[in-house]
């Protein structure tokens, strides 16, 4: 970053634990540079119980806001005075903005998910058929809400702990499935999204019966380290089109940038290439 930090520099950041390997500072600072905005985006690591205190301290300052990542996405809701309906539905917030001492919570993960499909599976229409979400945590909740809001006629939720899938679908809509019934949940699906934290390492790779998906079913993994997860390798071996988690990460960062700095990030900068370099991919 060649821009000087001055007394008028706008500052925003991302909070999580751990946070050192977050790609968000790379994305946002590259966009700030390209847009010529006097701004800076920093990563903050806080202790497990520290989010509330951090927000209390920052909300009356000139700090613009925070992206929020694990394990604070639920705490972020409690820290906000105003909650966007999509964050309330997801019961998780990945974006806090500060203005005049007030804190607003939003969730841009669902927007990022749909943007990723738009970019990497052009022509995909969420209203064209059933979509299957794997997982029932915060990311899955956001995905279910995003697909239902986009007109998807049926969202199927498959989870290791069936009771969590049942609770999620009872609240948001959709149909719950246990892992043993994943094949039935894949039949006729136009997309399958892995929103579990499994697959982060090869030894925890998901073994789902992806062969039960129809030809042309788009397979997406929210995990982006590695970029091509064992789940996506399995999908590609079956000839299924795939969408990766990095496209979603960039897709959720775009509306966050606009919320912090008042304008959309420049489109002509290849931040994906920067992120891939940082990932060593």
- Does residue 137 bind ligand NAP (CB under 6 A)? yes
CA separation for the pair 240, 218 (Å, rounded) = 6
Instruction: Find the binder of ligand NAP among 27, 54, 157, 248 (CB under 6 A).
Output: 248
What part of residues 61-120 is at the interface with ligand NAP (CB under 6 A)? Answer: 70, 109, 112
Name which of residues 189 to 228 contact ligand NAP (CB under 6 A). 195-198, 200, 204, 222-224
Member of 39, 65, 138, 174 binding ligand NAP (CB under 6 A): 138
Residue among 23, 96, 139, 152 that touches ligand NAP (CB under 6 A): 139
How far is it, in rounded angstroms, from Cα 20 to Cα 4? 23
Q: How far is CA 2 from the centre of its chain?
A: 29
Choose the binding region for ligand NAP from 7-15, 24-32, 48-56, 160-168 (rule: CB under 6 A): 160-168
Q: Is 160 a binder of ligand NAP (CB under 6 A)?
A: yes
Asked if the bond preceding 18 is cis, omega within 30° of 0, the reply is yes
Contact 140, 164 (CB under 8 A): no
Q: How far is the CB of 40 from ligand NAP (least distance, A)?
A: 22
| Binding of ligand NAP by 241 (CB under 6 A) | no
Cβ proximity to ligand NAP: between 37 and 223 the closer is 223
Tell me if 191 sits within 8 A of 185, measured CB to CB: no
If binding is defined by CB under 6 A, does position 259 make contact with ligand NAP?
no
Closest to 25 measured CA to CA, from 249, 244, 264, 228: 249
| Contacts of ligand NAP in 25-44 (CB under 6 A) | none
Query: What tokens were used for 62?
Result: 């000139």
**Number of residues lying near ligand NAP (CB under 6 A):** 26
Is 145 among the residues that bind ligand NAP (CB under 6 A)? no
Distance of CA 106 to the CA centre of its chain: 12
Residues in CB range of 84: below 8 A, 6 or more apart: 93, 104, 105, 106, 107
Give catalytic residue positions. Answer: 73
Q: 266's torsion region: left (phi>0), alpha (psi -120 to 50) or beta?
A: beta
- Segment near ligand NAP (CB under 6 A), from 17-25, 33-41, 145-153, 154-162? 154-162
CA distance 154 to 174: 6
Residue 271: Cβ within 10 Å count: 21
Interface contacts to ligand NAP, rule CB under 6 A? 70, 109, 112, 135-140, 159-161, 164, 195-198, 200, 204, 222-224, 245, 248-249, 252
């Amino acid at each position: 970053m060649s821009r000087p930090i001055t007394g008028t520099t706008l500052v925003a950041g991302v909070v999580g634990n751990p946070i050192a390997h977050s790609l968000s500072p790379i994305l946002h600072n590259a966009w700030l540079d390209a847009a010529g905005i006097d701004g800076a985006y920093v990563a903050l690591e806080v202790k497990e119980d520290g989010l509330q205190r951090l927000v209390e301290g920052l909300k009356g300052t000139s700090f613009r806001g925070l992206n929020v990542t694990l394990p604070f996405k639920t705490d972020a809701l409690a820290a906000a005075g105003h909650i966007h309906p999509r964050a309330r539905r997801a019961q998780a917030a990945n974006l806090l903005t500060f203005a005049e001492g007030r804190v607003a919570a939003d969730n841009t993960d669902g927007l990022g998910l749909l943007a990723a499909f738009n970019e990497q599976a052009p022509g995909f229409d969420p209203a064209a058929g059933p979509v299957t979400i794997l997982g029932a945590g915060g990311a899955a909740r956001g995905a279910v809400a995003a697909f239902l809001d986009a007109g998807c006629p049926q969202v199927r939720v498959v989870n290791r702990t069936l009771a969590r899938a049942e609770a999620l679908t009872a609240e948001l809509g959709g149909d719950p499935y246990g892992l043993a019934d994943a094949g039935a949940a894949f039949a006729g699906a136009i997309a399958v999204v892995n929103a579990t934290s499994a697959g982060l390492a090869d030894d925890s790779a998901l073994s789902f019966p992806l062969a039960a998906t129809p030809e042309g079913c788009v397979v997406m993994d929210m995990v982006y380290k590695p970029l091509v997860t064992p789940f996506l390798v399995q999908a590609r071996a079956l000839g299924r089109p795939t969408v990766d988690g990095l496209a979603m990460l960039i897709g959720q960062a775009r509306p966050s940038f606009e919320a912090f700095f008042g304008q959309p990030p420049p489109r002509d900068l290849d931040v994906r290439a920067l992120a891939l370099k940082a990932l060593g991919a």
